[in-house]
């Protein structure tokens, strides 16, 4: 590494050590480089030892990349790099018992599926299932909201004004109590409980303040209130802190992110800070940056800055308006094939971004039809698949026998003849004896099960106990394989021809455990913790030669040569409702800014006049996105996309529907000598043109000398500018 490789502002951010540093790092301005160089500088100049530095990120992928860069630059492994949640979990493994909440270091981390299972159980136990408005998804959202705001049960109870509020407070309390009794934490607890550790125990606070003497934070604009409090506590003593972020990329307000943390709160807490702006962009062309800025600059709540491209002016942003979501998808596919032909791109150079996951359906369909390889981010994650969740439940129970959610999932898998009635009796027995559900299994003779059931439960309890006792002595690889054999799980799938995919996934899980064990030397608890913090983007392979499909939220931090932004219609992107305030619209603008600035060379913006929703084509045409009105018209070029289909609304009232008919449509005003693109034959030149309307025909010579006579209405020719 050489400091002379940095620009003036980057260098200033790296070399400023004696005061808190706030870096506003615009998209593509080299924030990861600044963070890596800063760690290198702190160690090289002997300001701090590697193990005295803590670097916090938001994704496992970002943490892994930073570790690699640091190791390559200074050849040391001592720097503490991790996500807020992984560092929180690490602190809790060491100190959670000091909270006196009946937690111990074997705690389980519940994912979204587990959370919903707990909420479902709570609703049933409280006899609240009749209240339809208290659905599980809504309650999970409310609980996450409470915890993101660091609100206690007493806070929620005191604020309750309606009968529904009181019920939600009751569910919240029961949910928290259930997690405690299961020795389980949700993701929010991995932030909230470390705060309690640091605030309630001065020895622990002193320990971490003196252990981690320099703190760095990536993507600071995405921090919520608990994360900001953790940072403030850890860095409060020494004031040695550098945070890097971009307020224009703050897009997680819906999950508690507070943009004020970067705009005002940091300055208030770390009063002697220095503020640095990185405005030199190394990713995108100037037209891309100007287009993105012309939209986001309409926000009132932002720090003033404007990026300057090092790559030059570049191509104008393309805008394509289509008749339907199917045509939008076809236009994307046609444009990708054209870019590949003309610019020699590969499939991995392209990303298609959308506001909601539901939009991927028509795009996927079009790509399958056209034979284009794609990789979708945000589908069912590997660790969320049923067979994997089942095996993980076994492992979780072995690691933490208090985990009732894991136990209930597998008590009758593979089938042991244990039905809901028997499980209910065990729950009642546990309550009577004030024991865990697992411990109640040992006393199954008290509830007088049938002989086979009794033997089955006793054998199950004995086996889990055996594995639990071997937890510290068995390597995770050996433990998993022995467990799969003992409980006949692998053969359960192997011997069923219809379950081969599930069997193959079990093999993949074994490989995952092997890799973890070989690379880290960690135990089963370490493995379970790592995968519990796994995200969609961590599973994305950026080396695979395929088109990437993802939401804009998932794309943050990534870059592609060419980016398509689909669905630019009011109510979809921006996704703003009538009762939403100006803050929501500002976040949607920032989301658009993120989408556009993922592109290095080319951006396509698309919308559709009609879009299929809930399985049927909507009969009300779209209103064009506000972003298309706000964007600088000097950086936009409109590309015509006309369909061979005509759509019109017929009927009235409830019988209103969209009638689709095939018509003759000229894609462009063709003339002899025009260069055209054909989906099958590639690029060619029009040599002959005859007829009009229904009978219009062209003679085209394609690359390689291939000559074809084509009927325009079927050929789907597109003129190349």
Provide the annotated active-site residues. Answer: 31-32, 218-219, 249, 598
Q: How many CA atoms lie within 13 A of 201 on its CB side?
A: 17
Residues linked to residue 412 through DSSP beta bridges, in sequence order: none
* Three-class secondary structure assignment of 404-423: HHHHHHHCCCCCCCCCHHHH
Q: Identify whether 691 is preceded by a cis peptide bond (ω within 30 of 0).
A: no
Separation between Cα atoms, residue 331 and residue 642, nearest integer Å: 10
Separation between Cα atoms, residue 553 and residue 269, nearest integer Å: 29
Q: Is 392 exposed, middle or buried (CB count within 10 Å of its CB: 0-12, 13-18, 19+)? A: buried
Instruction: Please work out, in degrees rounded to the nearest 5, the angle formed at the alpha carbon of residue 120 by the alpha carbons of 118 and 124.
Output: 115
Locate 21 and state its tokens.
């540093």
Other beta carbons within 10 Å of 560: 22
- Dump strand ranges (E) for 191-337: 214-217, 241-245, 274-278, 280-281, 308-309, 317-324
Residue at token pair 């040695």: 240
Locate 215 and state its tokens.
């703190």
Separation between Cα atoms, residue 572 and residue 186, nearest integer Å: 31
Spell out a b/e string for 430-445, using b for 16 or more CB atoms within 10 Å of the CB, else e.
beeeeebbbbbbeebe
Q: Is 46 exposed, middle or buried (CB count within 10 Å of its CB: 0-12, 13-18, 19+)? A: exposed
Separation between Cα atoms, residue 646 and residue 234, nearest integer Å: 63
Residue at token pair 């995405």: 222
Residue at token pair 């961590």: 538
Residues linked to residue 564 through DSSP beta bridges, in sequence order: 352, 604
Answer whether 543's CB lies under 8 Å from 582's CB: no
Locate 697 and state its tokens.
């025909």
Separation between Cα atoms, residue 502 and residue 643, nearest integer Å: 43
DSSP tag of 693 = G
Separation between Cα atoms, residue 406 and residue 393, nearest integer Å: 5
Instruction: Please work out, in degrees rounded to the nearest 5, the angle formed at the alpha carbon of residue 357 by the alpha carbons of 351 and 362.
Output: 75
Residues 6+ apart with CB under 8 A from 636: 291, 316, 317, 318, 319, 605
H/E stretch holding 154: helix 153-159
Distances (CA, A) of 548 to 329, 516, 544: 14, 27, 9
Residue 649 DSSP SS3: strand
Separation between Cα atoms, residue 632 and residue 287, nearest integer Å: 9
Residue 64 DSSP SS3: helix
Strand order in the sheet with 675-678: 707-711, 697-702, 682-690, 675-678, 718-719
Q: Identify whether 242 is preceded by a cis peptide bond (ω within 30 of 0).
A: no
């Amino acid at each position: 590494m050489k400091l002379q490789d940095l620009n003036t502002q980057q260098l200033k951010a790296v070399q400023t050590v004696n005061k808190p540093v706030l870096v506003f790092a615009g998209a593509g301005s080299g924030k990861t480089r600044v963070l890596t160089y800063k760690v290198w500088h702190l160690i090289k100049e002997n300001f701090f030892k590697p193990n005295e530095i803590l670097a916090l990120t938001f994704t496992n992928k970002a943490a892994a990349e930073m570790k690699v860069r640091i190791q390559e630059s200074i050849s040391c492994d001592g720097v503490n790099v991790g996500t807020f949640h992984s560092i929180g979990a690490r602190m809790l493994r060491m100190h959670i018992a000091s909270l006196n909440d009946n937690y111990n270091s074997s705690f389980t981390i519940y994912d979204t599926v587990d959370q919903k299972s707990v909420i479902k159980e709570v609703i049933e136990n409280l006899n609240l299932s009749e209240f339809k408005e208290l659905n599980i998804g809504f309650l999970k959202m409310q609980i996450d909201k409470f915890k993101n705001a660091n609100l206690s049960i007493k806070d929620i109870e005191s604020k309750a004004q309606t009968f529904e509020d009181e019920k939600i407070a009751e569910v919240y309390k029961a949910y928290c109590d259930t997690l405690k009794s299961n020795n389980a934490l949700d993701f929010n607890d991995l932030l909230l409980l470390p705060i309690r550790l640091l605030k309630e125990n001065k020895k622990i606070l002193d320990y971490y303040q003196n252990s981690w003497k320099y703190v760095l934070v990536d993507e600071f604009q995405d921090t919520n209130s608990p994360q900001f409090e953790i940072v403030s506590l850890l860095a409060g003593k020494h004031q040695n802190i550098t945070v890097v972020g971009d307020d224009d990329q703050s897009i997680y307000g819906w999950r508690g992110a507070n943009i004020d943390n970067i705009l005002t709160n940091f300055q208030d807490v770390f009063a002697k800070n220095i503020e640095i702006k990185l405005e030199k962009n190394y990713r995108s062309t100037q037209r891309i940056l100007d287009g993105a800025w012309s939209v986001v600059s309409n926000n009132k709540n932002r720090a003033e800055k404007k990026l300057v491209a090092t790559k030059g002016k570049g191509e104008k942003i393309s805008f394509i308006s289509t008749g339907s979501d199917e045509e939008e998808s076809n236009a994307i596919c046609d444009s990708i094939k054209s870019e590949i032909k003309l610019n020699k791109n590969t499939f991995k150079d392209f990303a298609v971004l959308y506001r909601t996951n539901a939009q991927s359906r028509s795009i996927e369909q079009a790509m399958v039809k056209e034979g284009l390889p794609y990789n979708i981010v945000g589908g069912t994650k590997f660790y969320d698949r049923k067979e994997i969740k089942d095996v993980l439940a076994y492992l979780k129970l072995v690691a933490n026998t208090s985990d009732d959610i894991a136990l209930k999932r597998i008590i009758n898998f593979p089938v042991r003849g244990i039905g809901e009635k028997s499980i209910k009796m065990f729950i009642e027995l546990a309550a009577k004896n004030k024991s865990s559900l697992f411990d109640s299994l040992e006393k199954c003779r008290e509830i007088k099960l049938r002989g086979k059931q009794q033997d089955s439960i006793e054998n199950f309890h004995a086996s889990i106990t055996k594995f639990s006792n071997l937890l510290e002595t068995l390597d995770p690889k050996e433990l998993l394989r022995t467990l799969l054999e003992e409980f006949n799980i692998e053969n359960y799938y192997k011997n069923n021809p219809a379950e081969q995919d599930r069997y193959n996934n079990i093999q993949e899980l074994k490989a995952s455990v092997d890799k973890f064990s070989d690379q880290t030397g960690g135990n089963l608890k370490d493995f379970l913790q790592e995968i519990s913090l796994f995200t969609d983007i961590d599973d994305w392979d950026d080396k695979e030669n395929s088109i990437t499909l993802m939401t804009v939220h998932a794309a943050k931090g990534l870059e592609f040569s060419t980016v398509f932004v689909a669905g630019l219609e009011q109510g979809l992107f921006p996704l703003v409702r009538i009762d939403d305030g100006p803050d929501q619209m500002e976040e949607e603008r920032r989301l658009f800014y993120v989408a556009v600035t993922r592109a290095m060379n080319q951006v396509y913006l698309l919308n559709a006049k009609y879009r299929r929703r809930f399985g049927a084509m909507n009969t009300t045409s779209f209103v064009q996105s506000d972003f298309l009105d706000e964007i600088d018209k000097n950086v936009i070029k409109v590309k015509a996309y006309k369909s061979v289909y005509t759509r019109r609304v017929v009927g009235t009232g409830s019988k209103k529907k969209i009638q689709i008919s095939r018509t003759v449509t000229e894609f462009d005003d063709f003339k002899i000598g025009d260069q055209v693109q054909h989906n099958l034959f590639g690029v060619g030149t029009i040599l002959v043109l005859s007829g009009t309307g229904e009978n219009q025909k062209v003679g085209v010579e394609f690359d390689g000398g291939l000559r074809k006579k084509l009927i325009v209405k079927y050929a789907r020719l597109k003129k190349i500018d």
